[in-house]
Amino acid sequence: MALSPESMPEKPFDFRAPPPSPIASGRRSCVTNEDVLSEFLEHSLRVPDLVLPDKVFPRQNFIENPPKIDFQLLSSMESDSLSKILDSIARIGCFQLVNYGIEGECIRSALAAAAGIFQLPPEKRRAVTRSPPEKLYGFEEAHGEKEEEGEGKVSEEFVWCRGAGLKLEMEAIWPVGYSNFSEKMESLLCDIEKVAEKILMAIRQNLPPKTDYENDMKQGQDGIGSGCYVYKHSRNMSAEKCSGSLRYDVIRMLIRGFDYSHALCLHVCDGSSEFHVYSKKGWVSFCPDKDALVITVGDQTQALSGGQFKHVIGRPIYKGEEEDCISMAFLYSPPSTTNTTKVEPQKGKNNISLSQQAIAAIVLTLVYHILVFVYNKF
């Protein structure tokens, strides 16, 4: 049925599209506009080519062996031992030490006792694992599934110290063996500290005085004191597996370094094939002499020298060995002088202690209340 004109709305809705935008003068073809747009997008969205270096890992440089210093001639005025030490630690951060007065049997017995630590089963080791990272002693947490199972591990690490916490935890899982090991380590550490103390004293005498020396040296005294890193190096490892583990160790040490602030590190690594020295500026290696201790510079000595001596991290490498090998790195910090220094009272002045002040306050309060009572009474 058709609608009459009267029934239709007066202004119907208009759904037509809006008129097109005006085109600027100087018309260009669609093809030209598309070419300009394509060229603009090509230049603005271009992703730069990323060129990576061929060798991301630090390059290893072999150097001549650092000077071999006779410890017994260190204090001799006629010897040039000290000048060789200062030159070597300024260049590469380490030197070798011989004739240091520690009996070979003392070192060998400590190394033999240390081998027993790494024979503990994994379930017992987990109780003394260095987790969380703030824990400064115990077994280093394994990385990789095979290493957790104890297979294919190039090296293992255990951090020993004089702290009571480590003693309690280790005696709970290895009572007889740990007592023997700790006794031998304590004896060896005492001899190591005597050697390190004399070396550090000689270095200090040839440096200008620093007012903040005590602050630099006290950094290593917080917590549990000096420590020793004990390493087990596995035998008959393939070159590929040894290289992979070495790369992991280098990256971990460059990032973490040692958890202990220290002045010197004395490495017991007789029989090692190579000794690697790592720093933020490079990676060098050499073949250490037989029966020599390798001494590396710590962060405290670098601060003491104003950056003249290089703080480095050292690690021995064992290749082609038919038996597992043990090495040790003793971290030495000089004793803190804050506990031995006595502050004498100033002469001519009377010092009043806190207890005396408290007694005086109580007496004055009682006298005040008595006076108030007497005043109100009379």
pLDDT for 225 equals 57
* Confidence at residue 232, expressed as pLDDT on a 0 to 100 scale: 93
- pLDDT for 332: 95
Q: Which residue has the higher pLDDT, 53 or 99?
A: 99
Give the pLDDT mean for 69-81: 82
Q: What is the mean pLDDT of residues 79-91?
A: 89
pLDDT at 353: 63
- Per the model's pLDDT, the better-predicted residue between 279 and 251 turns out to be 279
Answer yes or no: is pLDDT of 145 > 80. no
Q: How many beta carbons lie within 10 A of that of residue 220, not counting itself?
A: 23
* Position with higher pLDDT, 30 vs 39: 39
Q: Which residues of 304-334 are buried (b: 16+ CB within 10 A; e: fewer)?
A: bbeeebbbbbbbbbbeeeeebbbbbbbbbbb
Q: Which residue has the higher pLDDT, 373 or 24?
A: 373
Residue 49 tokens, joined: 């080519």
Q: Give the separation between CA 80 and CA 99, rounded to whole angstroms.
A: 16
181-204: average pLDDT:
94
Average pLDDT score over residue span 171-189: 94
Distance CA 7, CA 326 (A): 107
Considering only residues 43 and 180, tell me which one the structure prediction assigns the higher pLDDT. Answer: 180
- pLDDT of 148 over the 70 cut: no
Least confident among 46-50, 291-295, 307-311, 362-366? 46-50
What gap in Å lies between CA 261 and CA 318, rounded to an integer?
27
Whole-angstrom distance, CA of residue 80 vs CA of residue 70: 10
Mean pLDDT score of the chain: 77
Q: How confident is the model at residue 258 (pLDDT cuts 50, 70, 90)?
A: low
The CATH T-level fold of domain 60-135+152-207+225-332 is: Jelly Rolls (2.60.120)
Confidence of residue 211 (pLDDT cuts 50, 70, 90): very low
Most confident of 37-51, 108-122, 229-243: 108-122
Range in 4-18, 83-97, 289-303, 364-378 the model is least confident about: 4-18
pLDDT at 221 over 90: no
Residue 138 CB contacts under 8 Å (≥ 6 apart), including other chains: 128, 129, 130, 158, 159, 166, 169
Q: How confident is the model at residue 113 (pLDDT cuts 50, 70, 90)?
A: very high
In the predicted model, what is the mean pLDDT of residues 89-106? 94
Query: pTM value?
Result: 0.70
What pLDDT score was predicted for residue 216? Answer: 47
Torsional sign, CA 119, 123, 125, 130: positive
Structural contact between residues 332 and 266, judged by C-beta atoms closer than 8 angstroms = yes
Which of the pair, 337 or 370, is modelled with greater confidence?
370
